[in-house]
Amino acid sequence: MRKLIFLAAIFCFVMAQKVEDCPPFGTELNCSGEFSPVCGVRGFSNNKQIRETYYNQCIACKIGHVEYTVEGKCEEFPEDGHFCSPTESKQEICRYLDSPRCGYFNKDVSCTSPPCVKDGRNVCMTCSIKNMLYTTKGKCKQ
């Protein structure tokens, strides 16, 4: 039984989607040819995140000039979704701005009927919830 629980814990750890900052000197990285697609986020334009899919995290940081990456292809996520950056995920103080968001948890969170979602007051408050991957405008549809 303990072995089964241990294997389940390892499986959950492996399945968790990673959001990773790029190092400050990403152009100096030596990248491998390993195919592990990521969605690179490079800032904002017209209040939308600028995103592009890259071959792997290293290449995204080296040639993509991205701020952070999210495991998986950009096309796998809603176009109007807002990825929670590593900085937003660590935010401790948020304004009390009322702009409802539906937050989608990463694969580390299991629920009885996917998708695993939670309503939040705004982007800051929603992204600061542990294991939150991205948000969309409005309240979650139940």
Over residues 56-86, the pLDDT tens digits come to: 999 999 988 899 999 999 999 999 999 999 9
Task: Give CA–CA dist 92/111, Å, rounded.
Answer: 25
Q: Please, are residues 131 and 105 in contact by the beta-carbon 8 Å criterion?
A: yes
Structure tokens at 117: 């979602």
d(C-alpha 127, C-alpha 111), whole Å: 18
Tens of pLDDT, residue by residue over 97-110, are: 899 999 999 988 88
Strand order in the sheet with 132-137: 82-83, 132-137, 101-105, 117-120
Query: pTM for the complete prediction?
Result: 0.80
Going by C-beta distance under 8 Å and a sequence separation of 6 or more, which residues neighbour residue 17?
Answer: 70, 71, 72, 106, 107, 108, 133
Any alpha helices (H) in the chain, and if so which ranges?
2-15, 57-63, 86-89, 123-127
Task: Output phi, psi for 39, to 5 deg.
Answer: -100, 115
Query: What residue has token string 């401790």?
Result: 92
Of the ranges 1-10, 14-23, 45-54, the best mean pLDDT one: 45-54
